[in-house]
Amino acid sequence: MAGLDNRAPRDALAATQFHVLSFEGPDAYSRAGGIAARVVGLASAIAEAGADTHLWFVGAPELPGHERKDGMALHRWCQWISAYHPRGVYDGEEEKVRDYASSLPPFLLGEMLLPHLANPGARAVVLAEEWQTVDAVLHLDAVLRQAGLRERVRILWNANNTFGFDRIDWARLSAAALPTTVSRYMRLRVMRFGVDPLVVPNGLPAESFQGPSERGVAEFSRRVPDRLVLAKVARWDPAKRWLLAVDTTAELKRLGAHPLLIARGGVEPHGDEVRSRAQASGLRLVERRLRAPGEQGLLGALVGTGDADVLLVEDALDHEAKALLFRASSAVLAHSGHEPFGLVGLEAMAVAGLACTGATGEDYVISGWNALQLQSADPRDFVCQMLRVLRDPDEERALRRNGRATAAGFAWPRVLATSLFPALGIVPPSAPSALTGPAEAPWPATMGRRARSRVARGRAMV
Beta strands in 103-218 (DSSP E): 123-129, 153-159, 178-181, 198-199
Residue 280 has a pLDDT of: 97
Residues 154 and 214 in one domain: no
In a domain, 95, yes or no: yes
The confidence score (pLDDT) of residue 433 equals 52
Tell me, yes or no, whether 235 and 136 share the same domain: no
Residue pLDDT, tens place only, 271-289? 999 999 999 999 999 999 9
- Residue 12 has what pLDDT? 78
Contacts of 26 (CB under 8 A, 6+ apart): 36, 40, 55, 57, 74
- pLDDT at position 267: 84
Q: Are residues 212 and 107 in the same domain?
A: no
State residue 270's pLDDT score: 97
Residue 433: inside a domain: no
What integer pLDDT is reported at residue 256 of this predicted model?
Answer: 95
- Asked if residue 356 belongs to a domain, the reply is yes
Classify residue 375 by burial, with Cβ atoms within 10 Å: 0-12, 13-18, 19+.
Answer: exposed
pLDDT reported for residue 32: 87
For 72, 125, 150, 154, 260, the CA distances from 119, given in Å and listed in that order, are 20, 15, 16, 17, 61
Domain boundary among 158, 175, 200: 200
User: Does the residue 426 lie in any domain?
Assistant: no
Res 381: pLDDT: 95
pLDDT at position 429: 65
Backbone angles phi, psi at 344, to 5 degrees: -60, -40
Q: What is the pLDDT of residue 34?
A: 86
How many domains does the chain divide into? 2
pTM, whole model, 2 decimals?
0.88
- The CATH number covering residue 343 comes to 3.40.50.2000
CA neighbor of 157 nearest in space, from 166, 165, 149: 165
Q: Say whether both 228 and 368 belong to one domain.
A: yes
- The answer to whether residue 419 is domain-embedded is no
Q: Are 39 and 45 in contact (CB under 8 A)?
A: no
Is the residue at 429 inside a domain? no
Q: Are 217 and 327 in contact (CB under 8 A)?
A: yes
Give the largest Cα separation in the chain, rounded. Answer: 74
Residues 252 and 386 in one domain: yes
Cβ of 284: how many Cβ atoms within 10 Å? Answer: 14
| Domain residue limits at 268 | 207-407+441-461
pLDDT at 245: 97
Residues 32 and 74 in one domain: yes
Q: For residue 32, what are the contacts with CB-CB under 8 A and spacing of at least 6?
A: 24, 88, 89, 90
Residue closest to 281 by CA, chosen among 257, 314, 245: 245
- Asked if residue 126 and residue 259 are part of one domain, the reply reads no
Helix, strand or coil for residue 419?
helix
The reply to whether 299 and 152 lie within a common domain is no
Domain presence at residue 416: no
On whether both 110 and 155 belong to a single domain, the answer is yes
User: For the chain, which residues score pLDDT lower than 70?
Assistant: 1-10, 429-462
Q: Is residue 173 part of a domain?
A: yes
Structure letter (DSSP) for residue 152: G
Residues 172 and 216 in one domain: no
Whether residues 223 and 114 fall in one domain: no
- Type and span of the H or E element at 355: strand 355-357
Answer with the one of 138, 165, 200 that is the final residue of a domain: 200
Same structural domain, 263 and 376: yes
Question: 10 Å Cβ neighbour count for 282?
Answer: 10
User: Which are the contacts of 205, defined by CB distance < 8 A and separation ≥ 6?
Assistant: 40, 41, 44, 45, 411, 412
Q: Are 77 and 97 in contact (CB under 8 A)?
A: no
Size (the chain), residues: 462
Q: End-to-end distance of the chain based on CA atoms, in angstroms?
A: 59
Q: What is the pLDDT of residue 432?
A: 55
Domain boundary among 143, 177, 200: 200
